[in-house]
């Protein structure tokens, strides 16, 4: 393969990797938006003392974590697939960069 073709291929591979990373970022932003929208519903209905007991401060955090886990679980197969794809792309890009560097030294 001609070095210029390899450089072009490297640029294409890097752009494909950026697209994959963008997809993962979109999923993260979607999760954050969903959780932000759920926060008002997670607060206890009555924040005052009931029968002499203070409100449980850990209850909100428990509800938050449970909802976050549920939302993440829905998208987990997609997240896993994109993460594997990203790892493969990183490996392929590293190998191509290595070939380009070794080809530049030999030429």
Instruction: Report if residue 72 sits inside a domain.
Output: yes
- What per-residue confidence (pLDDT) applies to 41? 86
pLDDT score at 48: 63
- Look at residue 19 and tell me if it is in a domain: yes
**pLDDT of res. 14:** 97
CA pair distance 3, 14, nearest whole angstrom? 16
Question: Residue 51 domain-assigned?
Answer: no
11 belongs to a structural domain: yes
Question: Which tokens sit at 35?
Answer: 């959780």
Question: Domain residues for 85?
Answer: 3-44+58-106
| pLDDT tens by residue, 57-101 | 788 889 999 999 999 999 999 999 999 999 999 999 999 999 888
Q: How many domains does the chain have?
A: 1
Residue whose token pair is 């449970």: 66
């Amino acid at each position: 393969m001609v070095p210029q073709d390899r450089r072009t291929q490297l640029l294409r591979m890097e752009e494909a990797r950026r697209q994959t990373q963008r997809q993962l970022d979109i999923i993260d932003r979607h999760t954050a938006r969903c959780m932000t929208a759920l926060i008002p519903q997670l607060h206890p209905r009555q924040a005052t003392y009931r029968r002499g007991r203070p409100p449980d401060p850990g209850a909100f955090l428990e509800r938050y974590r449970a909802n976050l886990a549920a939302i993440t679980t829905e998208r987990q197969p997609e997240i896993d697939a994109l993460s594997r794809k990203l790892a493969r792309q990183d490996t392929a890009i590293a190998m191509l960069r290595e070939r380009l560097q070794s080809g530049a030294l030999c030429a």
